[in-house]
Amino acid sequence: MIIFNEAQSRQVTATTEEIFSVLRLLIPRCLGFVLVFDGVDECLDQDQLFERLQDIEPISNSISIAIFSRPTIKIPTRMARNSLHIPLNGVQNLRDIRRYLRPKIRDMVKDNILRSTTVVEDVVIKISDRANGMFLWATLLVEYLSLPALSVRQRQEAIDNLIRLEGMDAIYTAILNSLTTRTCGQAKGNIIRLFQLVAWSYRPLLVGELECALAILPDRPLSHDDTIPNFAKSLGRISGALMEIVNDGSVRFVHLSVLEYVTSSKQHHSGSSAMTDTFCSSIGKDVSHLSCAGYCLSYLCYNVAAEPLGGSPQTTPDRKLQQRRYPFLEYAAEFWSHHALESLNAVDSDALHGETELIERTIQSAKTFLSNKHMVTTWIEASWMFQHPPQVRSGPNDEMLSAYFGRHHNRSLNGVETLEAFELLGRLARDLQELNSSWGDVLGKTPNEIWEPSISAFTKSPFWISTPGSKLTPLQRKDHKARGSICLKSQVSSDGLQIAVLRAIPNPR
């Protein structure tokens, strides 16, 4: 545990280095130290975890490590050599699974979503035996049986034919089949958008960010009426219990295997319906990145006021206040270009075939945003306020662009307009590099300075505003040697790291 004064730092979560630094301090001072790691199979970088554990192992001879996981991880040979492996079979946690199932099935009978003649204990035994020790499978089966889209008969048929639902993929397929075949129109669109954002966001979205993102409209500001009522409480029902809100307030899939399932490159999953296959195609990588780019750009264009965030160019914006005011701003500001360029790198892929309207709409949103100096200036201020210096990654190469133009030259959005959008992104990337390099120290402390005369005078760009009246006049040509110049004034900064010198150069004539 790390104790610190929150007022001294914006960081509220310990870094990996801090955690292991504390462990290195504690372990030599403690006898019989035991490190317990649960759910290691869900660790995104298992190799790094084991490397860290091997680094701290020599610190003390009394350290023990207990790892709980599904039998899918590979423990390094050095660690496994002196390890005790205790594989659990389907019987060892059978009683716990039954203890979990019993009240759930009983409540379903009471709520009339299972037949009143159902023998609870028979169902409990049948499900627990088929679970084969997988608690998650039993949990998701209960959630599946609770889906409001299922009839009483369909639930009973599922219980009678549990062999069809064996394995996690079968459960995921059954849940998605139910979600996609029993919803339509905008309700299905909301579910698709939800899975796109959770599966392909560059970091886990907080529940408030996700609620806001789901309400974003492509061409106008959103209002309270556009949000899903009681979204946090309804998340389980909307996602078929495949998502949950974790301790830090972010939304994630209930297990890493769900993410692997929905982002699988396979075109069809065994047992899935045609509608489910279409759903999985709609949440594929390329389409999802393109959609997410549209959500971010629409939010920046239509929901964030194109003006100083603090209300005045002289007022430094308050981060927490702006997060409440604009819940999706931090994510949209940092990652809109990442999503846009990720999808544009795949413009010639089969996954985007038939998505011409989505491509055109996203590119038009990008052009609307990039052509509005006040919008871009607000974005730069927001990026620095959130301590994420604004940047644009490198775009698609010439070969990809040529392939795109050849395929879409007869469409309403022609290749010339597309090329203009790409060129704008390239120019913006170069201008931002110069801005961040020259003014990063200033903007990191006072992001509102982007609205003031100094920055626009010294670092001009067609993308952000130039304050009227600001002018930079060079006193000599760049190729002119400064011999014979007269120093009029010099000033050293208070920290001693910077110096400014004003010199006069006599006319050589």
pLDDT digits (tens, 9 = 90+) for 34-47: 888 887 877 777 88
Q: Is position 345 within any domain?
A: yes
Same domain, 106 and 211: yes
- At residue 350, the pLDDT reads 66
Run of H or E including 487: strand 486-492
Strand partners, 65: 35
Whether the pTM exceeds 0.85: the reply is: no
Task: Give the mean pLDDT of 319-334.
Answer: 96
Query: What length does the chain have?
Result: 509
Last residue in a domain, options 33, 51, 80: 80
| Residue at which a domain ends, from 250, 276, 302 | 276
DSSP state of 167: S
> What's the pLDDT score for residue 493?
65
Q: What is the pLDDT of residues 487-500, one digit of tens each?
A: 666 666 666 556 66
Most confident of 75-89, 111-125, 266-280, 344-358: 111-125
Q: Domain check: are 33 and 64 in the same one?
A: yes
Same domain, 290 and 355: yes
Tens digits of residue pLDDT in 229-240: 999 999 988 998
Same domain, yes or no, for 318 and 419?
yes
For residues 322 and 381, give the distance between their C-alpha atoms in angstroms, rounded to a whole number.
12
User: Is 410 found in the same domain as 354?
Assistant: yes
- Quick one: pLDDT at residue 412? 42
Q: Is there a contact between 379 and 300 (Cβ–Cβ < 8 Å)? A: yes
- Check pLDDT > 80 for residue 7: no
- In tens, the pLDDT along 291-309 reads 999 999 999 999 999 999 9
One domain for residues 33 and 105: no
| Among candidate residues 362, 357, 375, 326, the one with its CA nearest the CA of residue 213 | 326
- Structural domain contains residue 466: no
Q: Are 304 and 382 in contact (CB under 8 A)?
A: yes
**Domain span including residue 136:** 94-276
Query: Is 391 inside any structural domain?
Result: yes
CATH code for position 62: 3.40.30
458 part of a folded domain: no
Number of domain units in the chain: 4
Residues 331, 190 share a domain? no
Q: Is residue 456 one of the residues assigned to a domain?
A: no
Residues 427/289, Cβ–Cβ less than 8 Å: no
CA distances to 46, 66, 87, 125 from 238, in Å = 31, 36, 35, 29
Q: What is the pLDDT of residue 17?
A: 78
